[in-house]
């Protein structure tokens, strides 16, 4: 039952000790405030990292070649390694059961793309249909490259949203013709990419027609694959690592490259990198929680100390109450109520202040690895609830001690 007199008494006690109450509340509020800010930025880091990896498939294996740096089997260093269609077929045949999506790519560097009087330089790539899923390309208009385009060598193109906006402005580009180094291609699709404008500044052509148009023969500039994922991330990473090592070994044997030549064949495993980054993010979150909880504990300890001082100061008053018939539970309730009020009010103030700062500062943060720092409101409220429970526990020992005081002893206290 709500007791007006009890609350009047609590407020009167707090009013008599304004500075002490303020400092105690400040220590609790600052603990919650710091925790909210830390959790918000840890969430922002997680969002930023996730956004970076969403640009392409996370479980991706990319293969590129350069020049050899070491002589091997009588061959001199400095050889340029050129991948061909049979390299792509070799990997597909050897690891077909482990692969999900696959694409061989032929890049046209500094691709000059034009539509009527509008021109621009964009990255132009000949790809296979699976490249849509490897690149996480979301088709907003039309379609992506399909197998019929590959088989028939059709002169069609899929352009990024940035290319569409630059060349076509507000006009629908579907079924319009663009010119790439003077060769016409029909636009059949427009895509969006979570990587933003940089990823949307590309033009995709069928692999066969791009090589035919730009004298690519059967050359491949790079190859991309995605590994079939399992529910267990560690197992998926282990499988991806094994396939990466096996592919590198196969290509080195085929092209007579020294096993310890690290430059000639570059096989990049994004899943392994993702695991490392996510592990780092989890570590950062754990450290932030540790710091925040430590700060809150310091505030709660402060509340406990203040309650001990309050009980000491009010020993004679408590003795009079007991002499007049006050039961121990009412004494405990009086002390606990004060501790819980200070803790809860200060905690809510720190929570609101922290959320307000994140709301104001969050949109101003401009970093690829920190995006939308925010705190789940449910988590924040749960934290305050735990804080209140901790405050109650901190006040219980002094309250219990006060309830055990004998009236005759309390009345003698100076």
226: domain range? 82-254
Residues 111-117 have a mean pLDDT of: 90
Same domain, 36 and 139: no
187: three-class secondary structure by DSSP: strand
- Read off the tokens for 83: 């991948």
Same domain, 331 and 220: no
**Which of residues 254, 287, 305 is at a domain's end?**
254
User: What's the number of domains the chain is made of?
Assistant: 2
- Using alpha carbons only, give the angle 118, 122, 124 rounded to the nearest 5 degrees: 120
Model pLDDT for residues 218-259, shown as the tens digit of each residue: 999 999 998 876 666 667 777 788 888 999 999 999 999 999
**Which of residues 254, 284, 305 is at a domain's end?**
254
Instruction: Provide, rounded to the nearest whole percent, the portion of the chain with pLDDT above 70.
Output: 76
- Give the residue carrying structure tokens 């979150």: 285
Same domain, 142 and 283: no
How many angstroms from the chain centroid is the CA of residue 404? Answer: 53
Model pLDDT for residues 201-227, shown as the tens digit of each residue: 999 999 999 999 998 889 999 999 988
What Å distances lie between residue 284 and 28, 68, 160, 210, CA to CA?
23, 40, 35, 46
Same domain, 158 and 17: no
Residue 316 resides in a domain:
yes
Model pLDDT for residues 331-379, shown as the tens digit of each residue: 777 777 777 777 777 778 888 888 888 888 777 766 656 667 777 777 7
- Using alpha carbons only, give the angle 97, 98, 99 rounded to the nearest 5 degrees: 100
- C-alpha distance across the termini of the chain, in Å: 34
pLDDT at 56: 47
């Amino acid at each position: 039952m709500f007791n007006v007199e009890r609350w009047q008494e609590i407020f009167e006690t707090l009013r008599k000790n304004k500075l002490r109450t303020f400092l105690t509340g400040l220590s609790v509020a600052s603990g919650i405030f710091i925790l909210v800010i830390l959790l918000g930025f840890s969430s922002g880091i997680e969002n930023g990292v996730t956004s970076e990896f969403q640009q392409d498939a996370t479980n991706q294996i990319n293969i590129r070649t350069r020049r050899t740096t070491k002589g091997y089997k009588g061959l001199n260093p400095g050889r340029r390694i050129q991948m061909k269609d049979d390299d792509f077929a070799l990997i597909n045949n050897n690891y077909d059961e482990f692969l999900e999506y696959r694409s061989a790519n032929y890049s046209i560097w500094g691709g000059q793309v034009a539509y009527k009087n509008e021109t621009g330089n964009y990255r132009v790539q000949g790809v296979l249909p699976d490249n849509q899923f490897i690149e996480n390309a979301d088709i907003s208009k039309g379609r992506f490259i399909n197998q019929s385009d590959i088989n028939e060598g059709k002169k069609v193109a899929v352009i990024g949203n940035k290319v569409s906006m630059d060349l076509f402005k507000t006009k629908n580009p579907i079924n319009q013709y663009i010119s790439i180094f003077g060769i016409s291609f029909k636009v059949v699709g427009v895509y969006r990419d979570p990587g933003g404008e940089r990823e949307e500044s590309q033009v995709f052509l069928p692999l066969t027609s791009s090589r035919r148009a730009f004298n690519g023969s059967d050359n491949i500039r790079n190859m991309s694959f995605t590994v079939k994922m399992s529910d267990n991330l560690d197992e998926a990473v282990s499988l991806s690592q094994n396939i990466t090592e096996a592919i590198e070994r196969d290509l080195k044997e085929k092209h007579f490259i020294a096993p310890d030549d690290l430059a000639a064949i570059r096989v990049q495993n994004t899943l392994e990198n993702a695991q490392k980054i996510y592990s780092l993010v989890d570590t950062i979150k754990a450290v932030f929680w540790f710091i925040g909880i430590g700060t809150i504990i310091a505030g709660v300890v402060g509340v406990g100390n203040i309650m001990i001082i309050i009980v000491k100061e009010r020993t004679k008053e408590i003795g009079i109450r007991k002499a007049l018939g006050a039961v121990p539970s009412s004494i405990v309730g009086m002390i606990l109520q004060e501790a819980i009020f200070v803790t809860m009010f200060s905690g809510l103030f720190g929570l609101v202040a922290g959320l307000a700062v994140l709301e104001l500062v969050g949109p101003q943060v401009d970093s690829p690895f920190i995006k939308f720092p925010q705190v789940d409101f449910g988590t924040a409220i749960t934290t305050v609830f735990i804080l209140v429970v901790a405050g109650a526990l901190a006040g219980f020992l002094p309250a219990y001690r006060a309830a055990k005081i004998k009236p005759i002893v309390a009345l003698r206290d100076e």
